[in-house]
Amino acid sequence: MAAPRLVVSRIHPRPVMRWSHCFVPTLKEVPADAEIVSHQLLLRAGLVRKLAGGLYTFLPLGVRVLRKVEAIVREEMNRAGALEVLMPALQPPEIWQASGRYETARDVLFKLKDSAGREWVLSPTAEEVITTIAAAELNSYRQLPVNFYQIGIKFRDEIRPRFGLMRAKEFYMKDAYSFDATDEGAMASYRKMYDAYNRIFARCGIQAFPVEADTGVIGGNYSHEFMVPAVTGENDVVYCETGGYAANIEKATSRGSVVPTPKGRTGEAPESFATPGVVTIEALTAAPYSVPAHAQIKTLVYVADSKTILILLRGDDQLNEAKLMARTGAVQVRAATADECQAALGARPGSLGAVARVPATIKVYADEQLRGAQGMTTGANEDGFHLRHVEIERDIRVDQWADFRTVKAGEADVATGEPLKIRRAIEVGHVFKLGTKYSEKLNATFLAENGQRHPCVMGCYGIGVTRTVQAIIEQCHDKDGIIWPTSVAPFEVCLTPLNVAEGAPTRVLAESIYAELTAAGIEVILDDRDERPGVKFKDSELVGFPLRLNLGEKSLAKGEVELKPRGQVVQMIPVAEASARIIAWVQAERARIRQSAGVA
RNA sequence: CGGGACGUAGCUCAGCCUGGUAGAGCACUUGGUUUGGGACCAAGACGUCGCAGGUUCGAAUCCUGUCGUCCCGACCA
């Protein structure tokens, strides 16, 4: 018997990307798990699959998109002068204790133990690690400024993962950290990142606009979030169309309520009146009391870092907890329980007030909207009774006035006086000026020109790469599927011969056009599946390739092929021009996007 | 952490109320017919009905617990 002949296949340097070999498990039906359209399309287009709540596997096409976004981020970070590093995701808890975030971030921090019983944390960000590096390695002002970044997997113990990649337990993120010798230097570093972020999102083909943001538990004093407008977003953005003001609702301010606060002096003393069963602002506005909400004082009992405090707001205003934390410096705040209210003021929620029986140990905060308020009605600190004729500055001990209220749509912009609008948005990026919070705690100091030792002035800058992928889908889709911007599409062109038989003219032509496009640097997928045309058309539109070329025998007989930009009408073009037209189309799209980002 | 809903084939779901040993469509395999917008015919394969207890002669179905998934809430006194 003859020995079997060993056939060694030649490895092609760049094998033809055929749909049949690409693993694109598209779904006709909407997965039951997915609520929002971008999440549905991620699954339906075969980009990701769920492993468990908040944990996703990226499939080949999904990885291609992720890598494209990542490449844009990396290019622009490099352009901005940042230096790429790679830090461990597994980190010792000691540095988290040193920064204080072992406590303040404990709700989102994954912890685990190794076989020796030693504890570790999984990194949600890396301020502690990079500051440790800075403490050891940055010794002189001559080494500053410097900006380190990394791109990798981060972990957050989300209490409620949702919306696919939007809020996940594990996600892909770019995080950067700048170190400067001076405050002005830090502002310049911040500005560089701010500009880079604008370029990054423009190059991803989405509209993301910067808004003023609260800094939250991470600390610092100057911050912007980059927001993608979307009804499915988890943030409310307040903005003024004419003046350009835009802020996260946690931070936003206005000239105040459109309904003026009552200030007519009555001269009458506070008077108790019976309000049996009335425990809401709403109930007191009804007959027989008929006290409008804006003439009521809402008294909130809060526990801020285990201290009981009172916050007074106008009855029609909402407390903004982010502002409460910012104004009081508290790290954790929560509403007091009914029992705690009883203990503090002697009454149940619904009858609380600050006029009487407020122990001196309880600090009283009041919202600016209440300044000068007279003729107000508030709880009497006696169940079933309220007080009328209250003048806040005469009758209530206010320890601190500040802005604690949540801005409402229609209120006047501070700068222009124009009415503010509110819309939902997805946060895809965040830039902070951190100051010296971490450098002081972790001893990242340098020797200045004058020989003095100073803590580095830091900034930190994040982009949710996986979340950005989903935000792109949320903004770029129609009823048929995704419409990828060319810059992030898994492939730029989908070649679709309708007859794929070996030697069929459509197949032969598709292969030769594939070679020409690939040689010109275009990213092409060849749909070689022996499927009916409808299946191939639906799939390519679901996945969302920016440009498709249909090669059918009927039009080919007339010397034509069909150019189908995603979301636009078909154009018939001569066969001989096909490759050149496609190359021109793709290059024009690439250039258009780069120009819009100002990096042409 | 509180509330709600749901866990049945790879996917979307029916069956559960009224207990009697599991179904449809899509997808998959084989053969045939089709071939420009998610084809048709025939045959086939695919299930510890989330898991664990309990009730019962008998449980996908009723009860208890548990795990998982999704949604709402965790400011509105």
pLDDT tens profile A315-336: 999 899 888 888 888 877 888 8
The 10 Å Cβ neighbour count of residue A168 is 24
Distance A36 CA to B45 C1' (A): 35
Measured in whole angstroms, the distance separating CA A591 from the mean position of its chain's CA atoms is 27
Secondary structure of A459-509 in the HEC alphabet? EEEEEEHHHHHHHHHHHCEECCEECCCCCCCCCCEEEEECCCCCCCHHHHH
pLDDT of residue A209: 92
- Look up residue A148 and give its two tokens: 């380190």
CATH of domain A491-596: 3.40.50.800
- CA of A292: how far to CAs of A40, A261, A265, in Å? 45, 11, 17
Among A182, A125, A117, A115, which residue's Cα sits nearest to residue A150? A125
CATH topology of domain A271-402: YbaK protein (3.90.960)
Return the nearest residue to B37, CA–C1': A534
A422, β-bridge pairs: A238
Cα-Cα-Cα-Cα dihedral of A366, A368, A372, A374, to 10°? -60
pLDDT of residue A351: 86
Q: Which residues of chain A have pLDDT under 70?
A: 1-14, 216-221
The domain A53-222+434-474 having CATH identifier 3.30.930.10: the answer here is yes
Nearest DNA or RNA nucleotide to A232 (CA to C1'): B71
Burial group, residue A488, by CB count within 10 angstroms (0-12, 13-18, 19+) = buried
Nearest DNA or RNA nucleotide to A284 (CA to C1'): B77
Distance A590 CA to B5 C1' (A): 46
- Length of chain A as a residue count: 600
- CA of A120: how far to CAs of A89, A155, A408, in Å? 10, 13, 43
pLDDT of residue A218: 57
Chain position carrying tokens 């498709």: A548
A211, β-bridge pairs: A225
pLDDT of residue A1: 44
Chain position carrying tokens 């059918």: A552
**Boundaries of every domain in chain A:** 53-222+434-474, 271-402, 491-596
Nearest DNA or RNA nucleotide to A27 (CA to C1'): B11
**Rounded CA separation A581/A587 (Å):** 10
Distance A341 CA to B13 C1' (A): 50
Distance A32 CA to B64 C1' (A): 28
pLDDT of residue A383: 87
Nearest DNA or RNA nucleotide to A283 (CA to C1'): B77
Distance A269 CA to B18 C1' (A): 69
Nucleotides of B under 7 A from a protein CB: 1, 11-13, 25-27, 34-39, 68-77
Amino acid at A536: K
What stretch of H or E contains A55?
strand A55-58
Q: For strand A307-314 and strand A363-367, is the pairing parallel, antiparallel, or unpaired?
A: parallel
pLDDT of residue A217: 57
pLDDT tens profile A510-527: 999 999 999 999 999 999
